[in-house]
Amino acid sequence: MALGPASTQIGLTSMVMLVVFAAQPLSPTAAAEQAGLILAGGLLQTLLAVAAWPVRRDEPQRVTLAALCRQLAADTRASRGPDSPPLATAALTDARATVTGAGSDHSAVGEALRTLLDEAEGINLALVALDDTRHRRRDTVGQGTPPRRIDAVMNAAGDVLAMLAEGLDTGRAPTDTDAPLQRIAASARALWSQATHALRSQATHALRSQATHAADGVQRTRAAAVLAGVEALAGQLRAAVESATHAITGDEEAAVRLHAPRPPALRLRAPVSILRANLTLRSAACRHAARHGVGRGCPPPP
């Protein structure tokens, strides 16, 4: 499992074939004939698998990511309880297996596909957090009066994700994502204005108890958390649109030109910066490697 599901499947199939043929003793000539037939079958399967690769090189990855974006778009419009699991979990698992199963493809298109997958995971987390906030506010305000601003953000995010799914399916870069992204920005500004107006109106009262001060602090913290979640979602959607555009067009030179003005640490292909970023305790990979090394070095319990 350490090398991925594809390697696991190959190893399992090889072990089954070894067990089957080990139970059937053959002469050297018959064994050579059987091995030749198996080799010819494997070569034919390989040829059929890579026949469409020159013209549709990244088609499986794009199709899987399109299904993921479509599921995320449906997730924005689904009405589920706060204790329900995210609907896109299975789609995320399939997309991760398909995109990472392509191997170490460091082309601009391969990097764009992996970046799009990472952004989709972040979008899923942001949608789960906003949906939880929406349900908590609905329970607080009263049944039948959902928070309109968060609903507007979720609907706009669903529109962007649906456009991404359609673009990945059809092979055309999404071009109409500016309007829903602007709606998200407008909703964020409205949420901030609503929160600041409520706090200012409460501050006009001369006599305020300590409990009222505490409640204001909780309200301010919640408003800031919701606003940060909305802004993070908007940024992730913009990055997803950019990555999907590069993955669909497949223009290596355009991707290189886009990232050339950025600092080396912010470029998609910067091995020195990636290595330096992972050689610090702030990196999850470095901390995991340190824990793994210490665990392997400790003697087993008696």
pLDDT in tens, 104-134: 566 777 778 888 888 999 898 888 888 887 7
- The mean predicted confidence, pLDDT, of the chain is 76
Residue 4 CA to residue 202 CA, distance in Å, equals 56
Q: Judge whether residue 165 has pLDDT over 80.
A: yes
pLDDT, tens digit, for every residue of 133-163?
777 766 554 443 347 788 888 899 999 999 9
Residue 289: the pLDDT is 81
Of the two residues 107 and 102, the one the predictor is more confident about is: 107
Query: How far is it, in rounded angstroms, from Cα 67 to Cα 2?
Result: 26
Greatest mean pLDDT range, 147-151, 182-186, 269-273: 182-186
Angle of helix 210-249 versus helix 108-141 axis, rounded to 10 = 150
CA distances from 56 to 49, 70, 104 (A): 11, 21, 18
Q: Highest-confidence range of 94-103, 157-166, 179-188, by mean pLDDT?
A: 157-166
3-class state of residue 283 by DSSP:
coil
**What is the distance between the alpha carbons of residues 302 and 296, in angstroms, rounded to a whole number?**
15
Cβ distance 146 to 134 under 8 Å? yes
Query: String of b and e for 190-201 (b: at least 16 CB within 10 Å)?
Result: ebbeebeeeeee
Residues 107, 142: Cα–Cα separation, whole Å: 52
3-state secondary structure of 151: helix
**Residue located via tokens 């018959």:** 30
Confidence of residue 96 (pLDDT cuts 50, 70, 90): confident
For the ranges 74-78, 116-120, 194-198, 227-231, the one whose mean pLDDT is highest: 116-120
Tell me, what DSSP letter sits at residue 266? G
**Model's pTM, two decimal places?**
0.66
